[in-house]
Amino acid sequence: MRKFATIAAATVLALGTAACDSAAENKAEDQAQAVDETAEANADAIRANAEGTATEKAADATADAVEATGEAKKDAMEDAADKIDSKPQ
């Protein structure tokens, strides 16, 4: 459910700002979103594979780190994308 809410919120945000962004910026932001979604999928897989095992707690910590890394990378990519349109053409 959390993943669906995240994707829905990102879609609404993207649609709200799409009219102001160039195609290059939109493409960069889409790539950033894909990085984050991949990290979340990887984290979900880590948790699923460790469910019910002795390493479940450690796997949760690893999955949290994977999600945090993906989110940080997405944020950095989006910040860079925001600068695309601010550069003089």
Note if the pTM is more than 0.85.
Answer: no
Reply yes or no on whether the pLDDT at 47 is more than 70.
Answer: yes
Q: Three-state secondary structure along the chain? A: CHHHHHHHHHHHHHHHHHHHCCHHHHHHHHHHHHHHHHHHHHHHHHHHHHCCCCCHHHHHHHHHHHHHHHHHHHHHHHHHHHHHCCCCC
Q: For the chain, what percent of residues have pLDDT higher than 70? A: 74
> Given pLDDT bands bounded at 50, 70 and 90, which one contains residue 83?
confident
Q: Tell me, what amino acid is at 53?
A: T
State pLDDT tens for residues 22-39.
Answer: 898 999 999 999 999 999
Which tokens go with 3?
């993943």
